Structure 1
Amino acid sequence: MSLYRSSIWFLKGLSEYTRSSFESAAKRFVEKDLDVSVAGRSFMITGASSGIGKAVATAIAKRGGTIHMVCRNKDKAEEARAEIVKETGNKEIYIHILDFTETRKVWEFAEAFKKKFRSLNVLINNAGSMLTQREVNTEGLEKNFACNTLAPYILTKSLVPLLEKSGDPRVIMVSSGIMLVKKLRIGDLQSQRGRFDGTMVYAQHKRQLVVMTEQLAKAHANIHFSVMHPGWVDTPAAEAMPDFYQSMKNKLRTPEQGADTVVWLAVSEASAAKPSGRFFQDRKMIPTHLPLAWTHSSLEQKERFMTLLEELAKASQPH
């Protein structure tokens, strides 16, 4: 059996990621955690025009937050904004158009945002890509990597000064449980070796987000970092794995259920009291590796990964 198929069958067995597991976990949620107003606080959400991102934007808008939707498609973004305004009555929702696969443009957007806006309380890196064929951007970087790993790194690093000037700053990365089948790989960040498998490349990038969160939390003690797994959610990313989607579609979580822990991490006092840099699922800290897993990496490997990210980011930074 191929690595892809064996991984998919393994993931199907993780019943704690399904809709019913969320409903079960929700019985222990503290309702008052989300009974808050975030009026006056600003939230940047990438990939906010659909799926989990849109659900997060809607939930935070209901609580009075100022929303910065960073999206690739202008028409979808405008449609999503109109729906969120209609549902929440909150008009403090701004659209920013950005293709996350174009690395230089990520830098340009972040720098322009800092000049235009005086504060940002929460950054939610949610946008993702799962191209099935290897493609490169104008900088020669593999597009999935550029979107899934390098863009969140650049956006976060560039916006750190703005976050640090704002009250109770937080950064949240949206990962995936599929990362549990992958060990951090630093020798082939551009996926140039062997057969290109979009699903496994995506899994590697989601592992990279977990490592990135851990390391950024150490470097920036004034910001609360967290990374989370939304469970198996009915989104385009799930549809991109046809075998998995076909057999699991009746068990997948809704985007609102997938968004719940992101919202909790973004707005609740309870989540801010947790240690920075940790991995969450269903409002609870969980391990980043399966028991007896071979996926652990050394501190040296993690630090080397961050150095490589910094080098790649600087190489595309406008001067």
Structure 2
Amino acid sequence: MRALLLFHQLPRSPHLPPASRGAATRALASFAAPPLGSRARGRPPPARAMASQQQFPPQQQGSQPGKEHAMDPRPEAIIQNYKSAEKLKGKVALVTGGDSGIGRAVCLCFALEGATVAFTYVKGHEDRDAEETLQALRGIRSRTGARDPMAVPADLGYEENCRRVVEEVAGAYGGRIDVLVNNAAEQYERPSLADVTEADLDRVFRTNIFSYFLVTKHAVRHMGEGASIINTSSVNAYKGNKTLLDYTATKGAIVAFTRALALQLAEKGIRVNGVAPGPVWTPLIPASFGKEKVGQFGSEVPMKRAGQPAEVAPSYVFLASEQDSSYMSGQFLHVNGGVIVNG
């Protein structure tokens, strides 16, 4: 899900092993929401309850990056019976932290809309999640005719690694990137300001905001008129979070970065927007919080439940699509379970 600061140099082998079409199909199916109750054949699934009570089994992974394959239940990355419309056909998309969580859901939705997708992950820690995502992307690609997807291992906290990722992806796909999603993130609970060290700040800011600056800096060189940049912030940037001080500060910086960059790139015809999710069931949650908090995760919002990555990803499709959001730049979509925020 994230680009954790583990390796100063970017590993040279960008691809995970190939997967069979059958494995890819099974992988994609496992990411979709299960049928919601019994219903007649052919009838669309019912909408999610506005305020359904939801609890997760207490669990804690104890280290970051979190691992999606170890979660119970597994997050939903694709809405069942998702209806694609070729909104991104022919586009090349790069998604940072795309192996799991929201990043995985965005990768799969983009692929279903016809895009060729590359994503980053943390080598040695997120290999299994990345392989599952890559298998699913290959299965989708066999139906859409997009080019082969790429999974690129990277520590995006340093400029040289960001440059190498961008150059590798652009070089593989004809020298261009049409959609960039900056999504890499990490967070740690820190009950007091006194608990935040300089090293903590360096680590979290490098992953959460330095990478956004640095990947974008190099990607823009390969982006033309009509391209789209989408940054992942958080509801915490708007309402605050007393135990996530450094994480919240980075998410606020992402909002400001997005607005300023939108003004700078408007004359080039490149749109810059963002998504500010609320509580979403991703590997970051059991990797960040204790068992009790995980069990109640999401209950504080008006809808009384956490969201699923599958419910957030269509917002990224909307912002990436020229047909849907051509007159939007410098804006954020708030997929947050009903929390009212001031823009």
Q: TM-score range by the shorter chain?
A: 0.5 to 0.7
Partner of 1:123: 180
Q: 1:198, 1:97 → 2: CA distance?
A: 30
1:24-173 matches, within 5 Å, as 35-73=85-123, 74-86=127-139, 89=142, 92-117=148-173, 118-131=175-188, 142-164=202-224, 167-173=225-231
Report how far residue 254 of structure 1 moved: 1.2
Deviation for aligned residue 1:104: 3.6
Aligned mates of 1:149, 1:210 — CA distance in 2: 10
Q: Which residue pairs with 1:260 in the alignment? A: 314
Counterpart secondary structure, 2:223: helix
Higher relative contact order (CA 8 A, sep 6+): 2
C-alpha contact 2:280 2:309 (8 A) present in aligned 1:
yes
Displacement of 1:268 in angstroms is 5.1
The residue that corresponds to 1:201 in the other structure is: 246
Q: Which residue of 2 aligns with 1:238?
A: 285
* Larger deviation, residues 51-60 vs 233-242: 233-242
Distance in 2, Cα, partners of 1:217 & 1:22: 35
**Residue 109 and residue 141 in structure 1: after superposition, are their counterparts in 2 closer, same or farther (change >3 A)?**
farther
Aligned equivalents of 1:160 and 1:172: distance in 2?
A: 13
Sequence identity percentage: 22
Amino acid at match of 2:214: I
**Is the 1:34–1:268 contact (alpha carbons within 8 Å) kept by the matching residues of 2?**
no
Q: Assess, with a 3 A threshold, how the Cα gap between structure 1 residues 136 and 288 changes in structure 2: closer, same or farther.
A: same
Q: Distance in 1 between matches of 2:295 and 2:278?
A: 16
User: Secondary structure of 1:76's partner?
Assistant: helix
Asked if 2 retains the 8 angstrom alpha-carbon contact of 1:65 and 1:92, the reply is: no
Would you say 1:289 and 2:342 are equivalent positions?
A: yes
Structure 2 match to 1:312 = none
The residue matched to 1:202 in structure 2 has which SS?
helix
1:253 Cα deviation from its structure 2 partner: 1.0
1:247 aligns with 2:300: no
Please tell me the root mean square deviation across aligned C-alpha atoms, in Å: 3.3
Aligned AA (1:158): H
Q: Distance in 1 between matches of 2:198 and 2:99?
A: 24
User: Does the Cα contact within 8 Å between 2:226 and 2:322 map onto a contact in 1?
Assistant: no
Equivalent residues of 1:123, 1:172 under 8 A apart: yes
TM-score, normalised by the number of residues in structure 2: 0.62
Query: What's the offset of the Cα at 1:22?
Result: 10
**SS of structure 2 residue aligned to 1:130:** coil
Using a 3 Å threshold, how does the CA distance of structure 1 residues 224 and 127 change in structure 2: closer, same or farther? same
SS in 2 for 1:248: coil
Is the partner of 1:220 in helix, strand or coil?
helix
Q: Which runs of 5+ in 1 are unaligned?
A: 1-18, 24-32, 184-196, 291-319
Higher helix content, 1 or 2: 1
Give distance in 2, aligned partners of 1:61 and 1:142.
Answer: 34
Cα distance in 2 between the residues matched to 1:115 and 1:93: 13
